[in-house]
Chain A
Amino acid sequence: MVAMTYSIPSMLVFLTSAILVVVGAIGVISFRNPVHSALSLIVTLFGVAVAFIAQSADFLAAMQIIVYAGAIVVLIIFVIMFLGVDRKEDTSVEPFVGQRPFALAGVTITIAGIIYLMASSHFTTGAMSVSSGGAQLATGQANVQQLGTSIFTTYLFSFEATAALLMIAVIGAVVLARRENAQVATEGDVE
């Protein structure tokens, strides 16, 4: 391993992304008000988007902002306000005795295991893929082209399957959130 073969700007980008991700994530799990948690989640999502751009996944960074920060978080906040549950959750008591120490121990062991496994196998095998001939991934417009070509050729069936999945999800959400209006309508007719 040759030390310091990477440039200062890339380190700064990594640090920015890491700080955003970690601070946002800690905010998500420690704020007691769910609205604050949701806003903190956006910070994490931006940090991940920065990491995506730094690793030549430009299209996914844009999708990250549009789909996650723009749609999913807004949906969560909408439901929080719709239900009126934006009051504080009491986190001072533990319903199960010793739940947090056990969770902390389990998480620590898991993460230490993952990092140890990755470090002991030098993180990657270093093998190059056959799909792009080991060439560097493109950035910017070429990244969108590369991704689009891949989705609409190699992964076409999966892409069609996600269309069906989204359709099922929309129908499922409508069925779940619908009120039973049949009885109300009959009463209205009687009056």
Chain B
Amino acid sequence: MNVPASWYLILAAVLFGIGLFGLLTRRSALTMFMCLELLLNAVNLTFVTFARTLSDIGGQVNVFFVMVVAAAEVTVGLGIVVTIFRNRSSTSVDGLTELQG
């Protein structure tokens, strides 16, 4: 018999926590993107665990859509990072104050 679902859920929660900490503390936009991927993977792991527990394929379908959205998000996000880097020669998010009123 497989290990209890709670083990995987706790692992997903821990992964989410590590990703969230990185997202809150790192300055480089690229590292923040990677932390965002950690968050999405934690949620995916939860989806798959509940799909197994509830015997519902819908959870796995959701993961499929999350992966597609993650790919789209990374594509557009990295485009924005490249544009910002052209104008500022830095990917640090600390100095991005151009939109200040």
Contact = CB atoms under 8 A, between A and B. Distances in A.
Q: Interface residues of A toward B: which range?
A: 35 or more
B99 interface: no
Nearest to A125: B54
B67 A51 contact: no
Q: Is the interface of B mostly helix, strand, loop or mixed?
A: helix
Residue of A6, A106, A168, A177 contacting most chain B CB atoms (<10 Å):
A177
Contact of B65 (A80, A89, A115, A162): A162
Given A29-B22, A37-B31, A151 B55 contact: no
A13 to B, nearest CB: 8
Nearest to A95: B94
Contacts of B92: 89
Given A99-B25, A111-B14, A151 B61 contact: yes
Given A6-B2, A110-B17, A17 B68 contact: no
Interface string B22-40: 1011111011011101100
Nearest to B94: A95
Contact of B57 (A6, A79, A147): A147
B56 to A, nearest CB: 4
Contacts of A158: 65
Contacts of B51: 55, 57, 137
Contacts of A108: 17
Nearest to B90: A85
A48 B44 contact: yes
A186 interface: no
Contacts of A64: 44, 67
